[in-house]
A and B are shown apart, each in its own frame.
Chain A
Amino acid sequence: MPDLRLLLVDDEPDFLEPLCTRLTRRRVSCVTATSGEEALQVLAGGTFDCAVVDVKMAGMDGLELLRRIRREHAATPVVLLTGHASVEMGVQGMELGAFDYLLKPVDIDELLDVARRAAEVPREPESS
Chain B
Amino acid sequence: MTTDQRRGRLGHRLRAAWQALRTRTVTGTTGADMARARLMYDRFREILASNDATLHLIAEVDECVAGRAPFTLESLVRQIHKAEMAVFVMVKNLNLLSNDAHAGLYPKLRDLSAQIASMCPPTEEAEGRPDVQPLEHVRLTDAPLVGSKMARLGEARQSAGVSVPEGFVVTTAAFSTFMSANSLWERAARLEDLVQARGEGAAVALACEEVQRAILTAPVPETLARAITGAFERLAHGRDVRVAMRSSAVGEDTRASHAGQYLTELDVDASGLLGAYRAVIASVYSRAAIAYRFEHGMGARETAMAVGCLRMLQPRCSGVLFSRRPDQPGADAVVVAAVPGLAAALVAGEQDACVWITGEDGRTPDSTLLSPEDLSRLVDAARRLEASLRGPQEIEWAIEPPDRLLIVQSRPLVAAAPESDAGATPLTDMPPRLSGGLCACPGIGSGRVAVVSGEDDLDAFPDRGVLVARQALPSYSRILSKCAAVVTDVGSPAGHLASLAREYGVPALVGCGQATSTLRPGTPVTVDATCGRVYDGLLATPPPAVRPVLAADAPALQVLKRIARLVTPLSLTDPASPAFRPEFCQSLHDITRYVHEKTFEAVFHWGDVNWGDTRHARQLQVHLPLTIHVIDVGGGLREEEAANEDEGDRADGGPGGASPAITLDDVVSTPFRALLSGMLDSRLRWDRPRPLSARGFLAVVGERMAGLPGEALRVGGASYAIVSDRYVNFSTKAGYHFATIDTYCGQSVNKNYIHFRFAGGAADGARRERRVRFIASVLASLDFKVQTRGDLLVARLGQFDHDALLARLEDMGRLCMCTRQMDMLMDSDASPEYFARAFLARDMDRF
Contact = CB atoms under 8 A, between A and B. Distances in A.
Interface string B79-96: 000101101110010011
B109 A117 contact: no
Interface residues of B, number: 31
B42 interface: yes
B193 interface: yes
A94 B88 CA distance: 10
B35 interface: yes
Interface in B209-255: none
Contact of A112 (B35, B82, B89): B35
A116 B32 contact: yes
B36 A117 contact: yes
A117 B39 contact: yes
B106 interface: yes
The secondary-structure label for the interface of chain B is helix
Contact of A120 (B32, B42, B114): B32
Contact of B92 (A100, A113, A120): A100
A92 to B, nearest CB: 8
A85 B81 CA distance: 9
A114 B42 CA distance: 10
Contact of A88 (B29, B36, B113, B189): B113
A77 to B, nearest CB: 12
B404 interface: no
Given A85-B85, A90-B92, A120 B29 contact: yes
A113 B33 CA distance: 10
A124 interface: no
B186 interface: yes
A83 B190 CA distance: 7
Contact of A95 (B42, B106, B190): B106
A91 B39 contact: no
Contacts, number: 72
Given A91-B106, A100-B92, A110-B42, A116 B85 contact: no
A87 B110 contact: yes
Contact of A113 (B39, B82, B190): B39
A100 B193 contact: no
Interface string A53-66: 00000000000000
A1 to B, nearest CB: 10
B110 A113 contact: no
Interface in A68-123: 83-88, 90-91, 94-95, 100-101, 103-105, 107, 109-110, 112-114, 116-117, 119-120
A100 B88 CA distance: 12
A83 B186 contact: yes
Given A104-B193, A105-B193, A110-B42, A90 B35 contact: no
Contacts of A100: 92, 96
A3 B88 contact: no
A12 interface: yes
B110 A91 contact: yes
B202 interface: no
Given A83-B189, A83-B190, A114 B39 contact: yes
Interface string B173-191: 0000000000000100110
B193 A103 contact: yes
Interface in B43-90: 82, 84-85, 87-89
A105 B194 contact: yes
B85 A87 contact: yes
Contact of B190 (A90, A101, A105, A114): A105
A107 B198 CA distance: 10
Interface string B89-115: 100100110000000001101100110
A86 B114 contact: no
A28 to B, nearest CB: 12
Contact of B109 (A83, A91, A110, A113): A91
B36 A120 contact: yes
Interface string B10-34: 0000000001000000000111100
User: Chain A, interface size: which category?
Assistant: 20 to 34
A120 B36 CA distance: 9
B532 to A, nearest CB: 46
Contacts of A3: 30-31
A87 B91 CA distance: 11
A105 B109 contact: no
B35 A113 contact: yes
A87 B92 contact: no
Contacts of B32: 116-117, 119-120
A117 B43 CA distance: 13
A91 B19 CA distance: 34
B694 interface: no
A105 B193 CA distance: 6
Contact of B85 (A83, A86, A110, A128): A86
A117 B35 contact: yes
A94 B42 contact: no
Contacts of B19: 128
Contact of B35 (A91, A101, A105, A116): A116
B38 interface: yes
A101 B92 contact: yes
A114 B43 CA distance: 10
B540 interface: no
B1 interface: no
B804 interface: no
B197 interface: yes
B802 to A, nearest CB: 26
A83 B189 CA distance: 7
Given A87-B85, A91-B110, A105-B193, A116 B31 contact: yes
Given A12-B186, A94-B95, A101-B92, A113 B84 contact: no
A100 B189 CA distance: 21
Given A87-B84, A90-B92, A113 B38 contact: yes
Contacts of B109: 87, 91
B108 to A, nearest CB: 10
A109 to B, nearest CB: 8
A104 B190 contact: yes
A11 to B, nearest CB: 10
Contacts of A110: 39, 42
Nearest to A99: B96
Nearest to A92: B110
Interface in B157-209: 186, 189-190, 193-194, 197
Contacts of A95: 106
Contact of A91 (B30, B31, B88, B193): B88
A87 B81 CA distance: 9
A105 B32 CA distance: 23
Name which of B29, B88, B107 has the most chain A CB atoms within 10 A of its CB.
B88
Contacts of A109: 38
B189 A84 contact: yes
Contacts of B95: 94
Contacts of A113: 35-36, 38-39, 42
A107 B85 contact: no
Nearest to A101: B92
Contacts of B29: 120
A105 B197 contact: yes
A119 B110 CA distance: 29
A90 B85 contact: yes
A107 B19 CA distance: 33
Interface of B: 19, 29-32, 35-36, 38-39, 42, 82, 84-85, 87-89, 92, 95-96, 106-107, 109-110, 113-114, 186, 189-190, 193-194, 197
Query: What 10 A-B pairs are tightest by C-beta distance, nearest first?
Result: A116-B35, A87-B113, A113-B39, A120-B32, A85-B85, A113-B35, A90-B88, A91-B110, A91-B106, A87-B84
Given A104-B193, A110-B39, A113-B35, 19 more contacts: A3-B30, A3-B31, A85-B82, A88-B110, A88-B114, A90-B92, A91-B107, A91-B110, A94-B106, A100-B96, A105-B194, A110-B42, A112-B35, A113-B36, A113-B38, A113-B39, A114-B39, A116-B30, A117-B32
9 contacts: A3-B30, A87-B85, A88-B110, A91-B109, A91-B110, A94-B92, A110-B39, A116-B32, A117-B39
